[in-house]
Amino acid sequence: MGQLKNLKPTVRLSIMNPGAESGSLFGRGIASLCLGVREAGSLNAAAKGMGMAYSKAWRIIKDTEAALDVQLLHRDGAHGSSLTAEGDKILDAYLAIEERIQREAEKAFEELLK
């Protein structure tokens, strides 16, 4: 039983547009990119912080925006990027739900191990 106490459940959350033809979702990866933009003020800096090429980050953002039908970033050329109001709301909701679900999963796991 002692070894089981070292285990922890993990939960993967995604936000999708059920009507979208694309399979792109707002999940942990896009949330990390958006957090990086929020903190660094630049998609390029966010991508570098994740060890990702800027072109890949740009493609992920564009694909997700198209799938959700929501603009996530304001782009200001050489001056960087910032989250749109909708981008901020989606990111904040995602993080809050993820945290809540993670706490519940850990609580349930602990209870079920008893």
Q: How far is Cα 40 from Cα 81, in angstroms, rounded to an integer?
A: 9
Q: Supply the pLDDT for residue 63.
A: 94
**Residue 47 tokens, joined:** 């991508």
Q: Supply the pLDDT for residue 76.
A: 82
83 and 74 Cβ atoms separated by less than 8 Å = yes
1 and 95 Cβ atoms separated by less than 8 Å = no
Q: Supply the pLDDT for residue 102.
A: 96
- Residues in the chain where the model's pLDDT stays below 50: none
Q: Supply the pLDDT for residue 79.
A: 81
Task: Write out the E strands in 1-114.
Answer: 73-75, 81-83
Q: Supply the pLDDT for residue 22.
A: 81
Q: How far does Cα 108 stand from its chain's mean position?
A: 24
Average pLDDT, the chain: 93
Q: Supply the pLDDT for residue 77.
A: 74
Q: Supply the pLDDT for residue 78.
A: 76
Question: Mapping DSSP to helix (H, G, I), strand (E, B) and coil, where does residue 26 land?
Answer: strand
Q: Supply the pLDDT for residue 4.
A: 82
